[in-house]
Amino acid sequence: MNKKWNVFNREWFLNANPSLWFVLTYAAVMSLIIFVFWNRFNFEGSSLFTFIWTYLVLLVAHTLLNSKRYLILWKHNKHDIIKSYLHASYQYAPYLLITIVYEHIFLYRDAFSQEFKLMDLTFMQWDAALFGVQPTIWLEKFLHPAAVEFFMFAYVLFIVYPYFYLVYLYQKNKLPVFHKAMLAQIISLFVALSCFIILPAMGPRATFEINKQGQQSNSEVPVYSQSLKGIEFDFLEEWTGKPSLFQLQYDMWNQIERIKTDCMPSMHTCLCLIVLFYAVRYRRFFKYRKTAMWFWLGGNISLIFSTVYLRYHWVVDVIFGIVLAVIAYYLTEVFYKYWLKKRSENKLNEPQVEWLQRANALRGSG
């Protein structure tokens, strides 16, 4: 067999994105569960919606951040542009593959719903034990339309932070850090996706929501006395049918968020903290370091707080998200040191993005 294409060749294995092997292993395990319990699964409603929009976000960010390089390559070698998208798609592949698993978590949830019941009442009790009150209900006294708008914007930044940082590292040709940041996120996602099956929860917004008759089905569960409202604009309601930007974003996120029992742990918290760890550790990569640190620190703190303020998560979800982020970060550091050691033993250089090197060289000579 041609050595170049032999999957079991050690050099090929060590040159691959390390996250890819983790994702393929996890996907194989999840596929095996489907095979063993085939009769329990109903595949109606399966789709690739999350995969498609995530891929589009990555491609748009990738294209915008590399626009100057693409103009140079267009003049000198158009084939490099095609190669760049192929290489980038391969490097982002682990993230894209894990979105497919995420998209189908509901299959496992439905298949094992008798074994794994909703955990919201348990998490509600944990929050009460920790704080003596229900945090999302206590925060009602601080509700304000302007604050609701701000924190909804911060919450939706989840679409930006984890992906944008990876694309930023890639276009900076910092492939080793790119691999580490992605791997830490992938490891945390393995744990989180498994928890979404065995510890399903819908969050306080569903648990405390007053039903149409104005009564809760469980008298022990408190209810909200105020609803979340943003700053209302008549023209916005005319154009969109939504009274505020908050409502527009809230409804949009509900459409994008296909899995409704994905509270424990908070992946908004976990993924964004992992990115923050690497952004701070490798802050020398940023041209404007102080501005970048304000962007990452301020944005992440606001985003994490928004998960509770907007009633998406129990506080214990956030706490477990923080713990998972720390664990995933350190596991990644251990594994990547081993990975680099094996690369060194096989006399492999640090991985680089070759098309970027060529584009940068052409840019410098121009």
Tens-digit pLDDT profile for residues 251-281: 888 877 778 889 999 999 999 999 999 999 9
Q: What is the DSSP string of 181-205?
A: HHHHHHHHHHHHHHHHHHS-B--HH
- pLDDT for position 341: 83
- pLDDT for position 364: 64
- Selected residue with higher pLDDT from 40 and 260: 40
- Band the pLDDT of 210: cuts 50, 70, 90: low
Q: Residue 144, SS3?
A: coil
Would the pLDDT of 159 be above 80?
no
Digit-coded pLDDT (tens) for 289-309:
888 888 889 989 999 999 999
Computed over every residue of the chain, the mean pLDDT equals 86
This prediction has a pTM of: 0.89
* Phi/psi at 262 (5° precision): -110, 50
**Distance, CA of 147 to CA of 136 (rounded, Å):** 14
Would the pLDDT of 11 be above 70?
no
Would the pLDDT of 118 be above 80?
yes
Only one residue has tokens 């009274």, namely 243
Question: What does DSSP assign to residue 112?
Answer: T
- pLDDT for position 8: 45
Report the percentage of the chain scoring pLDDT > 90: 42
Q: Residue 232, SS3?
A: strand
Q: What is the DSSP string of 243-295?
A: SBHHHHHHHHHHHH---SSB-SS-HHHHHHHHHHHHHHHTGGG-SSHHHHHHH
Least confident stretch, 127-131, 213-217, 227-231: 213-217
Put residue 91 in one of left, alpha, beta given phi > 0 → left and psi -120 to 50 → alpha: alpha
Would the pLDDT of 149 be above 80?
yes
135 contacts 322 by C-beta, under 8 angstroms: no
Domain boundaries, the chain: 19-38+45-212+224-361
The mean pLDDT of 129-142, rounded to a whole number, is 94
Digit-coded pLDDT (tens) for 170-198:
888 898 899 999 999 999 999 999 999 99
**Distance, CA of 301 to CA of 264 (rounded, Å):** 19
- Band the pLDDT of 3: cuts 50, 70, 90: very low
Residue of 313, 328, 319, 316 lying closest to 274 (CA atoms): 328
Task: Say how many C-beta atoms besides its own lie within 10 A of residue 177's C-beta.
Answer: 19
Q: What is the DSSP string of 292-336?
A: HHHHHHHHHHHHHHHHHHTTSS-HHHHHHHHHHHHHHHHHHHHHH
Would the pLDDT of 244 be above 70?
yes
- pLDDT for position 311: 94
Q: Find how far residue 86's CA is from the centre of its chain.
A: 22
Would the pLDDT of 215 be above 80?
no
- pLDDT for position 217: 57
Query: Can you count the helices (H) and strands (E) in the chain?
Result: 18, 0
**Distance, CA of 317 to CA of 127 (rounded, Å):** 10
- pLDDT for position 46: 85
- Band the pLDDT of 286: cuts 50, 70, 90: confident
| Alpha-carbon torsion (275, 126, 305, 253), positive or negative | positive
Digit-coded pLDDT (tens) for 43-91:
888 888 888 888 888 888 888 888 888 888 888 877 888 888 888 888 8
Would the pLDDT of 203 be above 80?
yes
Cα end-to-end distance, the chain, whole Å: 43
The mean pLDDT of 324-328, rounded to a whole number, is 97
